[in-house]
Amino acid sequence: MLEIKNLHVKLEDEDKAILKGVDLTVEAGKVHAIMGPNGSGKSTLSYVLSGRDGYEVTDGSATLLGEDILDMEPEERAAAGMFLAFQYPVEIPGVGNMTFLRSAVNAQRKARGEEEMSSTEFLKVIREKAKDLQIDQDMLKRPVNVGFSGGEKKRNEILQMAMLEPKLCILDETDSGLDVDAMKLVSEGVNALRSPDRGFLVITHYQRLLDHIKPDVVHIMSDGKIVKTGGPELAMEVETHGYQDLKEGA
C-alpha cells in the first residue's frame, strides 16, 4: 500500500542530504518496523511522508494506494488515509481534545465525500475507545496534549489513530518515555487496530516494544538508506549486537 522508491531528501535551507535513496514497501495487513542508529533519518522519513515543511525531495517517489503522496498537502495525505504519531506530540493550547478530534474526524469524512459523524455518535465512539486506552473524561476535555505527561500524550495519539481509522499508521518511537504498563496499553491499542486493509510502519529503538507489537518485517536504516530487511529476528540481532555489523552492510 505504501511504496517508496529511491527517495532522496535534503534540507530545504541547506545543502544537506538526509535520505539517500530509501526503498521501502509496506503491504496492507502488515506491521513493518524500522530500527536504526540515532540520526540515520527515521524521523525525517516520517516527516517527509506526512508533508512537513523544511524538506525537499530531490529524487524518487512515494505512493499510498497507488496515489502519489509527495505532491499532496498534509491534509490531503491524511484524507488519503495516512496517520503519523510523532516522536514528540504537539500541544494545542485553547483547543479541547474532544473538539479537535471531532473536527479531524469530520474533516476527513468530508474530504472523502462521506457524511459527518453526529455528536451523539461521536461521543459514544470516543468514550468507548478512550476507556480501552484508560483515558479519562477529564483528559478528553483538556486542551490537546497541554500538560499531558509523556505517556498520556502517547496514549492520546493512539486514541486519535483509533478515531481516524487510517489506512497507513506511522508511529515514531512510541515507546520513548512510556512506563511498562503504558507501553502495553499503547501496544494493545495498536494491535487492536491491526487489520487486513491497514499497514503499519513502526519506528523504534527497542526490541521491547516489538515484543508487544509483533512486526512482520524489520528494516534497518543507516545513513539515510534501508541497509537490511528481515524478519523479527533482525530486531533481536540489533538488541544483542547493536548496529555496528549492520552498518557495514554485513
Ligand X SMILES: Nc1ncnc2c1ncn2[C@@H]1O[C@H](COP(=O)(O)OP(=O)(O)OP(=O)(O)O)[C@@H](O)[C@H]1O
Q: How far is CA 196 from CA 29, 75, 132, 169, 182, in A?
A: 4, 24, 21, 13, 26
> Which 136-195 residues touch ligand X, going by CB under 6 A?
none
- Three-state DSSP class for residue 31: strand
The piece of 40-48, 69-77, 194-202, 242-250 that touches ligand X (CB under 6 A) is 40-48
The set of residues, in sequence order, having a beta carbon less than 8 Å from that of 188 and lying 6+ positions away, is 132, 212
Answer for which of 7, 9, 18, 64 binds ligand X (CB under 6 A) is 18
Here the cell at position 139 is 483528559
Answer for which of 10, 24, 26, 44 binds ligand X (CB under 6 A) is 44
51 binding ligand X? (CB under 6 A): no
Where along the sequence are the contacts to Mg ion (CB under 5 A)? Answer: 42-43
- For 132, other C-beta atoms within 10 Å of its C-beta total 14
In the bound state with Mg ion, the residue whose beta carbon lies nearer, of 37 and 166, is 37
Strand partners, 11: 55
Smallest gap from residue 43 Cβ to ligand X (A): 3
- Do 176 and 209 touch, CB atoms closer than 8 A? no
Answer for which of 10, 33, 43, 102 binds ligand X (CB under 6 A) is 43
Residue 207 near which of ligand X, Mg ion, none (CB within 5-8 Å, type-dependent):
none
- Three-state DSSP class for residue 250: coil
Answer for which of 2, 24, 33, 41 binds ligand X (CB under 6 A) is 41
Smallest gap from residue 131 Cβ to ligand X (A): 32
11 binding ligand X? (CB under 6 A): yes
CA dihedral (2, 36, 49, 146) in degrees, to 10, reads 130
In the bound state with Mg ion, the residue whose beta carbon lies nearer, of 97 and 174, is 174
Give the binding site for ligand X (CB under 6 A). Answer: 11, 18, 36, 38-44, 54
